[in-house]
């Protein structure tokens, strides 16, 4: 109940942020521009539209999550709205979860809006839509859940600019960490290989949530992969949220 009240207030606050609409505008622009890009391409135009459209959805979703997520808790501390809130009979973790869920709700609404623009474009051109298309978008949302948790974690102890940099780094590392796997396969047995393995274990692998290629090229995806990716997303998010709660619980609000 208390978490819900905080979540709804966070949603009300986030939905007023102008950055959100700017990003939404550019996302819509990118999706529509994919049509022009398709005109310049030799080959299957539908593939270009799908590819650019899904990539825009994912990229702008992540930007929204990071730019709003990193300011959420910081703003409450900076403007001292947190003082009266935490003096009410709520636990600190309830506040943090409320903020998190409120932002997820905002991102969900934004993702739905972007998907609608995308769907209109696809339907206008009478391209076929498969179930995998919606699954790919669902996994974009799973990725957003994780990125939001990361943004929230950094927001608990850092300024918005630093948090944004940290969160963007997390996103980039997450999408490039598969390179480390290739490296591990090529390294000779020894200390460095073990070190690289341990590093790979802790670094996020956000490519687990990327099903764009499969959707664009109509490749089949084994259900086991979906299950694995979902579990990976849930556990990683819970882990990051637990870290955020631990940091936030012991923090002094000077």
Partner 1 sequence: MDTVLRIENIHKSFKAGFIPKRKKILDGISLEVNGGEIFGYLGPNGAGKTTTLKCVLGLIFPDKGKIQIFGHSNLSLQAKEKIGFLPENPYFYDYLTATEFLSFYSDLTLVKKENKQAQIENLLQLVGLNQAADLQLRKFSRGMLQRIGLAQALINDPSLVFLDEPLGGLDPLGRKEIRDVIIRLKEEGKTVFLSSHILQDIEMICDRVAILVSGKIINQGALQDLISEKVKVTEITLSGVKTEDCKDLGDCYSAQEGRIFLKVFEEEKIATVIQLVQTKKGKIHSLIPRTETLEDLFVGAVKQR
Q: Which residues bind partner 1 (CB under 8 A)?
A: 1-2, 4-6, 9, 12-13, 16, 79-91, 250, 252-254
Our CB check for partner 1 shows the closer of 102 and 233 to be 102
147, 66 Cβ separation under 8 angstroms:
yes
Our CB check for partner 1 shows the closer of 91 and 194 to be 91
Our CB check for partner 1 shows the closer of 1 and 39 to be 1
Smallest gap, in angstroms, from Cβ of residue 245 to partner 1?
A: 15
3-state helix, strand, coil in the chain (%, to 5): 80, 0, 20
Smallest gap, in angstroms, from Cβ of residue 89 to partner 1?
A: 4
Our CB check for partner 1 shows the closer of 8 and 138 to be 8
Smallest gap, in angstroms, from Cβ of residue 154 to partner 1?
A: 21
The contacts found for 41-47 with CB under 8 angstroms, 24 or more apart, are: 45/125, 46/125, 46/127, 47/216, 47/217
Smallest gap, in angstroms, from Cβ of residue 99 to partner 1?
A: 13
Smallest gap, in angstroms, from Cβ of residue 88 to partner 1?
A: 4
Our CB check for partner 1 shows the closer of 6 and 30 to be 6
162, 57 Cβ separation under 8 angstroms:
no
Q: What is the spatial distance between Cα 13 and Cα 9, in angstroms, rounded to a whole number?
A: 6
Q: Which burial class, exposed, middle or buried, applies to 57 when counting CB atoms under 10 A from its CB (0-12, 13-18, 19+)?
A: buried
Q: Using only the alpha carbons of the chain, give its radius of gyration.
A: 20
Residues whose CB is less than 8 angstroms from the CB of residue 198 and which lie 6 or more positions away in sequence, other chains included? none
117 phi and psi angles, rounded to 5 deg: -60, -45
């Amino acid at each position: 109940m208390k978490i819900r009240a905080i979540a709804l207030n966070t949603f009300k606050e986030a939905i007023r942020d102008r950055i959100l609409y700017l990003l939404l505008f550019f996302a819509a622009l990118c999706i529509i521009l994919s049509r022009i890009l398709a005109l310049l391409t030799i080959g299957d135009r539908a593939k270009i539209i799908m590819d650019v459209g899904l990539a825009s959805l994912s990229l702008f979703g992540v930007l929204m999550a990071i730019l709003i997520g990193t300011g959420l808790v910081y703003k409450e501390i900076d403007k001292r709205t947190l003082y009266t809130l935490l003096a009410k009979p709520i636990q600190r973790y309830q506040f943090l979860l409320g903020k998190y869920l409120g932002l997820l709700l905002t991102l969900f609404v934004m993702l739905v809006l972007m998907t609608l623009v995308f769907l209109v474009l696809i339907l206008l051109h009478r391209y076929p839509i498969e179930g995998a298309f919606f699954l790919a978008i669902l996994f974009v949302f799973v990725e957003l859940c994780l990125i939001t948790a990361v943004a929230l974690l950094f927001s608990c102890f850092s300024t918005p600019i630093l948090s944004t940099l940290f969160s963007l780094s997390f996103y980039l590392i997450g999408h490039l960490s598969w390179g480390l796997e290739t490296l591990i396969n090529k390294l000779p047995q020894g200390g460095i290989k073990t070190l690289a393995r341990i590093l790979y274990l802790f670094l996020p692998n956000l490519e687990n949530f990327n099903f764009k290629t499969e959707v664009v090229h109509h490749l089949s995806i084994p259900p086991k992969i979906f299950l694995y990716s979902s579990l990976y997303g849930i556990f990683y998010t819970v882990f990051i949220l637990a870290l955020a709660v631990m940091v936030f619980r012991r923090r002094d609000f000077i």
